[in-house]
Amino acid sequence: MEHEMLHHNWMGSYILLSYAIAVAASYMSLELAGRAGRVFNSASSRFWLIAQALVLGYGIWAMHFVGMMAFQVNAATSLNYPITVLSGLIAVAFVYPALLVLHSGAFTLRRLGIAGAIAGTGIVAMHYSGMAAYRMPGTELQINVVALIASVIIAVGASMAALFLFHTLTSDWARRQTKMQLNLVKVGAAAVMGVAITGMHYTGMAALQFKVVDEMKLGIAADGIDTTLLALVIGVVSFLLMGLAVTSVLMDAGRGGDLDDLDFGSAAD
Which residue did the predictor score with more confidence, 229 or 258? 229
Q: Has residue 93 been placed in a domain?
A: yes
Pick the residue with more confidence: 94 or 1?
94
pLDDT of residue 66: 84
Instruction: Specify if 264 maps to a domain.
Output: no
Taking the CB of residue 80, how many other CB atoms lie within 10 A of it? Answer: 14
Q: What residue numbers bound the domain in which 128 lies?
A: 8-256
What number is the average pLDDT over the span 65-88?
A: 81
Measured CA to CA, the distance from residue 42 to residue 75 in angstroms comes to 53
- pLDDT for 153: 94
pLDDT given at position 175: 75
Over 80: is that where the pLDDT of 240 sits?
no
pLDDT at 178: 82
Higher pLDDT, 263 or 124: 124
Residue 225 · residue 79 · CB < 8 Å: yes
pLDDT digits (tens, 9 = 90+) for 129-165: 988 888 777 778 888 999 999 999 999 999 999 889 8
Question: Is position 263 within any domain?
Answer: no
Q: Report the alpha-carbon distance of residue 75 to residue 98 in Å, rounded.
A: 39
Q: Is residue 20 assigned to a domain?
A: yes
The residue with greater pLDDT, 11 or 264, is 11
Asked if the model's pLDDT at residue 2 lies above 60, the reply is no
Specify the DSSP class assigned to residue 144: -
- How far apart are alpha carbons 122 and 99 in whole angstroms? 12
Q: What is the pLDDT of residue 39?
A: 52
The residue-averaged pLDDT of 114-129 equals 92
Residue 237 covered by a domain = yes
| Domain assignment of residue 266, yes or no | no
Residue 193 belongs to a domain:
yes
Instruction: Quote the CA–CA distance of 125 and 7 in Å, as a whole number.
Output: 26
Most confident of 3-7, 32-36, 75-79, 159-163: 159-163
Question: What confidence tens digit (pLDDT) does each residue in 201-232 have?
Answer: 999 988 888 887 766 666 554 444 555 566 66
> Coil, helix or strand for 78?
strand
Residue 83 pLDDT = 87
pLDDT digits (tens, 9 = 90+) for 184-202: 888 888 888 889 889 999 9
Number of domains, the chain: 1
**242 domain residue, yes or no:** yes
